[in-house]
Structure 1
Amino acid sequence: MVNGVLRPLGSLSAPLWNRFVASDPGQVRLLAATRVTLSVGIAGLGLAALVIWGCVPTMGIALGATLTMLAPFLLRDPGRRRRETTLFLMALLAALAYVAGALISPLFPVAEILFLLVIFVAVLLQSRGPRYGAICFGSFLSFYLGIYLHPPAAELPKHLASLPIMWVAVWIVCFVLLPDEPSAMLRRLLRSVLRRTALVLEAAEADALHGTGESRRRLEREFIRLNEAGLVAEEQIANSVAADREVLRRRLVTLELALARVVGAMRGETITPQNLYRVEALRGRFRRGHWPFRVGAVNVKGSSESQLRLALRELNRAGAAVAASHAMVAGPDRQAAPPPAPVGALAWSFAVQATIAAALAMAGGIALSPQRWFWAVITAYVMFLGVRTRGDTAQKILHRVAGTFLGMIAGVVCATLMSGHPVLELAVAVVCIFGSFYMFSVYGISIFFATVMLGLIYGSLGVSTEPLLLLRLEETAIGSGAAILSAFLVLPVRTRVHVHRSGMAVMEALRDVLTAGQQKLSGEAAASPLEKSRLLDRSLRDLRTALRPLNARRDVIRPVDRAERAFPVLLNCAYWARVFAVSCEDEALLGKEDRLLLTSGSRDLEDWVGALIAGLSSQEEQRPAGPYAQANPMTVRAKATGLPAPASAPKTGQPSASAASPADIAAVAALDNLGQALGLLEKRLFGMGRSGFSRLS
């Protein structure tokens, strides 16, 4: 439905449309923002009717309006029944919290102490799963509104009348108009993967023609985005009614590998006009997601074609296979309910930090404004949602302050220019609601839209916006300062410690791929090296997220070229581990001697990875004394596979020509290049100066 509404815009500017679709795999953010906006529109009509008829006072709709904006975004449980249950519990507990806040609001300081207790419990439980997060956040805001509005007990039933309107509006939008359809979502994700592939080809073409540092960084970014889209698609495969989920997973991995071979071949060959035309033609197919004819097999043995042409033909076949997968996920969703989301551990340290930060913010906020101190407390509270280290907290605070400051300026301008034009104010407010949730992944921009919307709302109520938004900025600064003090002084979780743990998880996942490959080669049918390779991709994604605060700080102090960082080496290791995993899945194409050779070579590499893990686990972080600790990476091929060492190593991230060969040659080449990448990774992790995964930033 979302695609059907917006698809005509694509004819106006196809490149922009393709980038828009590719930037939001499966249109997940677009769907979430549309749900919120429609829910607010439907609930707004109902709440306005209640106010006009005199059933609810004007301020009495605040509870229903606030929860209407949050509920569609917070319903993330797997399965429709679970989301409906979460919505019901969210409304029920919000009503109880609102009543409790309203009744104790006159009792100072009891109300403030209980507010801190609510914050402690909300942060403590937020890591338990999506249902806990939705209910706790809704209860926190409802308790806050009860204290802030402090309606008399006789008015409470009228205020609570807004909750049924909220529940009906959200239910209609989320379960009738725009329901979660796993198969439809998967089809959109597959289209996004194809369009992202086209963007990678475009970046690879620019890099091959120009070869600048910026072109290489762009190519790396596009590859990472493609991998992330593939991970999202694989996560959605589990909830789809696909006829063969394993076939779908394999096609996605094969597409990524074929694309990497094309990029490697483009770097290793001179791009002729004919090959450039072939790349552009194939890029057009990926943009359209349509293959007009059946693609034949690629005959590698005895072929005189260039490696680039062979790689392009293989990528063409892989793209056609993914495009044809739409038929596998067609039809209604009749699958059994997916398993519930795993329950996380209680967030004790963050609960203590958030409560202390809220207490400090409360003291500073009351000193600044006895009526609006809640803004400072809310800022301190939300700073500890979804963070894992003090670096994450500091980065989130910076985004919130910047978004609030810029939103204050824009809000004052909009409120001034649109004063007396209610229709225009309403239109801009709707755009701000949509933008705030669509850009939620970019926290500063989301806060910018929320601040502009707040200025428009208060302006429409006749309140002077300039001093109010300035006060919001000051209260935000107080809450941010309190959060910084608490994050760095109370039970701090260092960013480097988290980076080290995430890096260790990557190394463990890499070792698991090699172990699963050996098991598959030994005839264990239950072994799945391909699944382990996807777990490796997820570990890399977690490490990339953990590195963001360090990279952001260093880019401000001293820009560091990507070539100086070791993260691309880990990406290279993951690529060759994936090639090895795919080759092991094709064990029927491998001879007995090949399987024995590959098993022995992968076991040696597994021992090497284990030695690296042992070295990183030691407190001294000394260089490991594993079987290849002192080996020249150029000799790894001979030790790992029993084949002669190559004359020179390929560039990091560049597949060798042998990767395009049949299964046995591809597997040997994968181990060869993986060994070389491990040698380079060892140098980066245990080189001169600081050791460990902090060198990745």
Structure 2
Amino acid sequence: MNPLIDRLRAYDPGGIRVRLAAQVVVTMTAAMAAEWLLVQARHDPVPVVALMLGAVVALCGVFAAPMFDTPRQQALNLALIPIPALGGIALGLALAPHQFWGFGAVIVVLTAGAYLRRFGPRGFFGGVFAFNGTFFGLFLYGVITLGSLGWVTVEVVLAVAVTVALQLTAFRIRNDRTLARLRRSFGARSRAVAAVALALTEAPAPRRRARLVRLLRRRTLAFNEAALMADAYLERPGALPAGASPGIVHQRLFDLELAVTNLARFAVTLADADLPPKLRELVREGLAAVGELDADRADAAGRLVLQELPDGPARIVAHRFGGCLRAVAEALYGLRGGLGRDEPEVEFVAAAELAGGFLPGSAGVSQTASEEPQIARRIGRSGLPPNVRIAGQMAVAATAALVLGYTVDHRRWYWAVVAAFVTFMGAHNAGEQLRKGSLRVIGTVAGVLIGALLAHAIGPHVYAALAVILAALFLGLYLMRSSYAWFVIAITIAVSQLYVELGEYSEDLLLLRLGETALGAAVALLTVLVVMPLRTGRVVRVATREYLTTLDGVVAATQQQLLGTGSDLRAAVRRLDAAYQALMATLSVLGVPLLPAPSARILFSNSLSASRNYARNLLTDAAGSVTLDAAQAEALGLAAGTLRASIEELITRLRGQEPGPYVRSASRFATLGAGLHLPETAPPVLALRDLQLIDGSLAVIAEQLGLTVAALDQAHT
């Protein structure tokens, strides 16, 4: 495997980023070429209008397409683009002579577009095209008139036709190909996890070890992301060959992801343990085999590890490590087999839905946080649907940005409005909006510098400028999910080249763009903090609460599994993964706003991560058969009931209500485990140990949230 290709696959799950970037560049180029042929045929004295319309329609159309699942839905919805776009252009042209009303139209269209988000992707992009159309009408007044709206309609329809044609041909949705690419990315990310774990076994220096541990955490989270994305595609028509079972493929992908992730965690512990040289070499051999996805070597190493178990504290971890190596081999054998064609069908429902091909991040928990009533200064305050909240914020921000931007410069005021507008695009709460606004300013600064250098280097050479614009857009879109600043840099470079070709370029103009952008972003950031704010701390509370609710479901399913009454523990754990991804997406914005001290934030995040790891262990550890007598079943019920009641107290605290104490349940699980009289490495004993560890990690979270943590005797139970 070529290391560079493997890294690119790991960076871009399913090739979705590179495909989007390529589609934008190809579609924009094709649309502008079609518009150029049109203006040449009609001898248009101002061809730049058609070229700009074609480029903008193509760009927005490509972004809109992934929001719809099937080619038919994409074609139908993209075909509707001319309605809001031309309506906006007509409105802008009609009101342009009356500046006050023209400005008012911009604000009304922006506000209405934000409100239309309640109708899903169609409403969202309808609002975007209506704003773009209104802006074009105002911006191009004098160059075009209402009388030339017929040709403008032809130009918009032509750009839409090119966009739809390419979407249905060269970039047609092929769920089977996307899933195949996702599986290759899944493999690349598994190898990336194994590589870091292997590096940790080399006894690195303390500072390097700390960096590797942080890197391992990021890579295992990314590995889980790829698994959830693959799960979502398994349900789509045509993703798997005829006769293949989505449920079986899901099980094997999940088993492989779980085993590799656990191997990496256990390797961190074993790296610090006092192991015999032979066992330490077997650990390294096993990780190397997993890094190459070599099932035979992994299985052989796992068997040997289980034969060489040490005495002492490392015995259980070494036993788990060997079992995980064999689980990796079993999952790989299964994935290379018949994909469940000759096996009984397994019910399967994906735990996460995708948005534009990716996990939705904090969108769901932000919506819940926005809609729920809040308690502010002991006065009840009703929640607001996200579209209503954003519409109100947009109205305030757009008005202030327009007024201030116009005060700075009568011609380029729109840069401030656009900066305010995009702050609300794809950002779901105040923290994300703050980050996006800040990155827009940072990206503009870098883009101004790079754009100025390229403008002087290239000069008025049309084809070279066009190549720079397309290359910048490709790289900006490809890197955008890593940081929005990359896309802003690309757009600023493109604007610089455009103004060179129009004969309007100057460093002062780029600095004006920077100033207007900073002004618009600052207005938007102030607005989201003051006007109907959805603060990140509140979203974190909701995300943590939903995570704990799914964790409670895992505990309940584990109890049923140990009692032999049947449960869908696998589905419960996968729902926990999806909730954890949403929680991490929220925490990634500004750390943990619940807790002011950095050390407390780290402890909070680590405890959440630990509770999830122990819960995922249950999927394997609770699978062993055990028969509990009536007294043991009652003891399990009491222990699980205590843990679940304590989880409920945490949830109560996160709802803003007064909780009772967090009562520890670990001693009950420990007593029950000792009474089973089974080896310490027997699956049921390990499952009870996992539940003890979950209780321990949640007790730390309870302390961080200000709950009283009480032992059983202190709670009088």
The corresponding residue for 1:602 is: 640
CA gap 1:618/1:552 in 2 versus in 1, 3 angstroms: closer
Are residue 65 (structure 1) and residue 55 (structure 2) matched?
yes
1:330-349 counterparts in 2 under 5 A? 345-349=385-389
**Contact kept in structure 1, 2:536 and 2:593, CA below 8 Å:** no
Distance 2:73 2:465 in 1: 37
Distance 1:302 1:669 in 2: 20
Distance 2:472 2:435 in 1: 23
Q: Deviations over 1:167-186 (max 9, x none)?
A: 22222322211222222211
Distance 2:353 2:642 in 1: 38
1:606-617 counterparts in 2 under 5 A? 606-617=644-655
Are residue 534 (structure 1) and residue 574 (structure 2) matched?
yes
The corresponding residue for 1:162 is: 155
Are residue 627 (structure 1) and residue 668 (structure 2) matched?
no
Distance 2:532 2:235 in 1: 38
TM-score, scaled to structure 2: 0.81
**Contact kept in structure 2, 1:390 and 1:487, CA below 8 Å:** yes
Give, in angstroms, the shift of residue 492 of structure 1. Answer: 1.7
**Contact kept in structure 1, 2:248 and 2:340, CA below 8 Å:** no
Among 175, 179, 193, the residue aligned to 2:168: 175
Are residue 395 (structure 1) and residue 395 (structure 2) matched?
no
Give, in angstroms, the shift of residue 312 of structure 1. Answer: 5.9
The corresponding residue for 1:249 is: 250
Q: Deviations over 1:230-273 (max 9, x none)?
A: 22222222215442222222223222332243234422245777
Equivalent pairs counted in the alignment come to: 644
The corresponding residue for 1:673 is: 693
Letter in 1 for 2:25: T
Distance 2:288 2:193 in 1: 12
Are residue 227 (structure 1) and residue 224 (structure 2) matched?
yes
Give, in angstroms, the shift of residue 493 of structure 1. Answer: 1.9
Give, in angstroms, the shift of residue 383 of structure 1. Answer: 0.9
Equivalent position SS for 2:97: coil
Give, in angstroms, the shift of residue 327 of structure 1. Answer: 5.5
Letter in 2 for 1:444: A
**Contact kept in structure 2, 1:55 and 1:158, CA below 8 Å:** no
**Contact kept in structure 1, 2:416 and 2:520, CA below 8 Å:** yes
1:682-693 counterparts in 2 under 5 A? 682-686=702-706
CA gap 1:375/1:118 in 2 versus in 1, 3 angstroms: same
With a CA cutoff of 8 Å and minimum separation of 6, indicate the structure with the bigger relative contact order. Answer: 1
The corresponding residue for 1:488 is: 529
Give, in angstroms, the shift of residue 350 of structure 1. Answer: 1.5
Q: Percent identity?
A: 22
Among 511, 514, 534, the residue aligned to 2:555: 514
Letter in 2 for 1:448: I
Letter in 1 for 2:7: R
Are residue 454 (structure 1) and residue 500 (structure 2) matched?
no
Q: Deviations over 1:434-456 (max 9, x none)?
A: 12222222111110111111111
**Contact kept in structure 1, 2:562 and 2:684, CA below 8 Å:** no
- What 5-or-longer segments of structure 1 have no aligned partner? 1-9, 330-337, 646-656, 689-697
Distance 2:302 2:626 in 1: 18
Among 3, 17, 29, the residue aligned to 1:41: 29
CA gap 1:197/1:476 in 2 versus in 1, 3 angstroms: same
Equivalent position SS for 1:161: helix
Q: Deviations over 1:658-683 (max 9, x none)?
A: 6xx56434433322322232233333
Q: Deviations over 1:620-649 (max 9, x none)?
A: 5x6x42432xx7x6x36426x44379xxxx
**Contact kept in structure 1, 2:255 and 2:331, CA below 8 Å:** no
Q: Deviations over 1:437-486 (max 9, x none)?
A: 22222111110111111111221232224222222111111211211221
Are residue 367 (structure 1) and residue 399 (structure 2) matched?
no
CA gap 1:130/1:483 in 2 versus in 1, 3 angstroms: same
Distance 1:162 1:278 in 2: 66
CA gap 1:122/1:340 in 2 versus in 1, 3 angstroms: same
Give, in angstroms, the shift of residue 115 of structure 1. Answer: 1.5
CA gap 1:552/1:567 in 2 versus in 1, 3 angstroms: closer
Distance 1:299 1:175 in 2: 51
Distance 1:325 1:433 in 2: 42
Distance 1:473 1:493 in 2: 28
With 495-504 and 283-292 compared, the bigger mean Cα shift is at 283-292
TM-score, scaled to structure 1: 0.83
Give, in angstroms, the shift of residue 328 of structure 1. Answer: 6.6
CA gap 1:310/1:138 in 2 versus in 1, 3 angstroms: same
Letter in 2 for 1:418: I
Distance 1:63 1:93 in 2: 14
Are residue 427 (structure 1) and residue 415 (structure 2) matched?
no
**Contact kept in structure 1, 2:460 and 2:500, CA below 8 Å:** no
Distance 1:447 1:126 in 2: 24
1:317-356 counterparts in 2 under 5 A? 317-318=329-330, 320-321=332-333, 323-324=335-336, 345-356=385-396
CA gap 1:430/1:124 in 2 versus in 1, 3 angstroms: same
Letter in 2 for 1:228: E
**Contact kept in structure 1, 2:423 and 2:433, CA below 8 Å:** yes
The corresponding residue for 2:376 is: none
